[in-house]
Amino acid sequence: MISTYHRPRTLDEALTLLTQPNTVPLGGGTLLSKPTADSVAVVDLQALRLDSLRVNGNDLQIGATCTLQSLLEADECPTPLKTALKLEAPLNIRNTATVAGTIVASDGRSTFATMLLAMDAKLDLIVNRQSKIVNCGEFLLTRPSGLITSITVPLNAKTAFEFVSKTPADKPIVCAALSQWNSGRTRLSLGGYGKTPLLAMDGTEADGLDTAAKNAYHEAEDEWASAEYRMDVAATLAKRALEGIS
């Protein structure tokens, strides 16, 4: 339950408010506004102009409060990332939920976080008023607190996103996201299971991609699918992603 609401006009003001106990950033509020027993003070980020999308050399810099739908509709957004965004949440939620709120709230079934992990996205994070760049992989594993101001993804990598789900619009049971750079560097991440997407491979070439996918999901058993099923599907999706990468 939100007990106190702040809407600062400057980043400095927001950072000061966030030093208060039990006070968290508010993005789109789709998760924070859900009823809970605990009360929390929120710092609404909407007046801070953190919603821009900017191409910077080979990178796309996505402001923390950019909504999932704005990113999806942007010409600069790579097509596989658009597919992942569409699967993340239905349209009404995509129109409100922000990129930063979504990555903070993500679990292993998040298609958006799975794609960001494969793209080796970087997060601009402010902790104790110190700005630092955190790799998406590190962020997802350690979940540090702080204020995310932007997320940067490369535009010079080829990417692919493949998935299997019960219906075309459902959250995938298994998804595979792939990025490949001109150097041959190949990153494969898997989603559809557990607390966070898994990085299955980050290599100098694509050799052994399907085996890496299979091995990464050897314990991926839950009420949706057996580990054996996920291992086979992950290997197939990884191969398909490599064949279709563009």
Ligand X SMILES: Cc1cc2nc3c(=O)[nH]c(=O)nc-3n(C[C@H](O)[C@H](O)[C@H](O)COP(=O)(O)OP(=O)(O)OC[C@H]3O[C@@H](n4cnc5c(N)ncnc54)[C@H](O)[C@@H]3O)c2cc1C
Interacting residue ranges for ligand X, rule: CB under 6 A: 24-32, 45, 64, 89, 93, 96-98, 100-102, 104-105, 110, 147-148
Q: Cα–Cα distances in Å, from 64 out to 9, 57, 113?
A: 16, 19, 14
Q: How far is the CB of 40 from ligand X (least distance, A)?
A: 8
Q: 107 vs 207, which CB is nearer to ligand X?
A: 107
- Nearest CA among 104, 102, 197 for reference residue 144: 104
Q: 38 vs 75, which CB is nearer to ligand X?
A: 38
Q: 122 vs 214, which CB is nearer to ligand X?
A: 122
Tokens of 90: 């239905």
Q: How far is the CB of 84 from ligand X (least distance, A)?
A: 12
Q: 139 vs 217, which CB is nearer to ligand X?
A: 139
Position of minimal CB gap to ligand X:
101
Q: How far is the CB of 203 from ligand X (least distance, A)?
A: 29
Per the CB < 8 A criterion, the answer to whether 9 and 44 are in contact is no
Q: What contacts 132, CB < 8 A, 6 or more positions away?
A: 124, 125, 126
Q: 114 vs 186, which CB is nearer to ligand X?
A: 114
Whole-number Å distance between alpha carbons of 146 and 19: 10
Whole-number Å distance between alpha carbons of 170 and 218: 23
Q: How far is the CB of 186 from ligand X (least distance, A)?
A: 27
Q: 110 vs 186, which CB is nearer to ligand X?
A: 110
Q: How far is the CB of 179 from ligand X (least distance, A)?
A: 22
Whole-number Å distance between alpha carbons of 241 and 155: 18
Q: How far is the CB of 184 from ligand X (least distance, A)?
A: 33
Q: How far is the CB of 130 from ligand X (least distance, A)?
A: 15
Per the CB < 8 A criterion, the answer to whether 90 and 165 are in contact is no
Tokens of 59: 């990178």
The helix/strand/coil state of 53 is: strand
Per the CB < 8 A criterion, the answer to whether 87 and 100 are in contact is no
Per the CB < 8 A criterion, the answer to whether 146 and 129 are in contact is no
Q: 165 vs 236, which CB is nearer to ligand X?
A: 165
